[in-house]
A = this chain, B = another copy of it.
Amino acid sequence: MTEKQQEIFKSALKLFAKQGYQATSTRTISQEAGVSEGLIFRHFKNKEGLLKSILQEGQKKLKKMIQPIDNLTHPKVILKHVISLPFNITKDQKDFWRVFYSLRRQMNLDFIFFDQLIKKVKSAFKAMDFSDYISESEAFMMIWDGAMVYVLLNNPKNSYIIYENLLQKFDL
């Protein structure tokens, strides 16, 4: 990636996250990036190509985010770690998530990341001898999702209170 290509990438990420993909014109992106409009198409072929590039890069980062969980074995520790994720999102990850979340109704984002997470959670609840571990996992992920949306929308500062509240609810 050249410097300007990165500039485009960053500007697009920022704008897609703020205004949404459809509402952001390539012209606006190029201006924000301080770059000619044509360059977007040279580097990313399409507006959609630019989006895909962002989604891919996003998934890479997110995979790294959950890798540490693979080494954990104790179920409660795993769940604790998973539920902490929304509250520990770094600033540069937030925009990726915002793009993901704003598009998931329209596109069929194959969210490998998500599936992996669900598996981990399921096996954890299973190991904890939950009678209906599948439903419990589903509820858990649903709340996880709620937490994520909450963090992305509100930029809360004292979110750790909510976090601890959730730990209590799941007896972690």
Main secondary structure of the interface of A (DSSP, over half): helix
Let me know if A104 and B162 touch, CB within 8 A. no
Between A and B, 19 residue pairs with Cβ closer than 8 Å are A18-B105, A19-B106, A20-B20, A20-B22, A20-B106, A22-B22, A22-B23, A104-B153, A105-B153, A135-B161, A135-B165, A138-B162, A139-B169, A142-B143, A142-B146, A142-B147, A146-B146, A169-B169, A169-B170
Please measure, in the bound complex, the distance between the C-alpha atom of A34 and the C-alpha atom of B20, giving whole angstroms. Answer: 29
Is there a chain B Cβ closer than 8 Å to A118's Cβ? no
Please measure, in the bound complex, the distance between the C-alpha atom of A105 and the C-alpha atom of B22, giving whole angstroms. Answer: 14
Please measure, in the bound complex, the distance between the C-alpha atom of A71 and the C-alpha atom of B150, giving whole angstroms. Answer: 29
Name the B residues within 8 Å of A51 (CB-CB): none
Is there a chain B Cβ closer than 8 Å to A84's Cβ? no
Name the B residues within 8 Å of A18 (CB-CB): 105-106
Spell out A's residues near B (CB within 8 Å).
18-20, 22-23, 98, 102, 104-106, 132, 135-136, 138-139, 142-147, 149-150, 153, 161-162, 165-166, 169-170
Q: Closest approach, in angstroms, between the C-beta of A121 and any C-beta of chain B?
A: 14
Given A22-B22, A139-B166, A166-B139, CB of A98 within 8 Å of CB of B105: yes
Let me know if A150 and B161 touch, CB within 8 A. no
Please measure, in the bound complex, the distance between the C-alpha atom of A138 and the C-alpha atom of B166, giving whole angstroms. Answer: 11
Name the B residues within 8 Å of A166 (CB-CB): 139
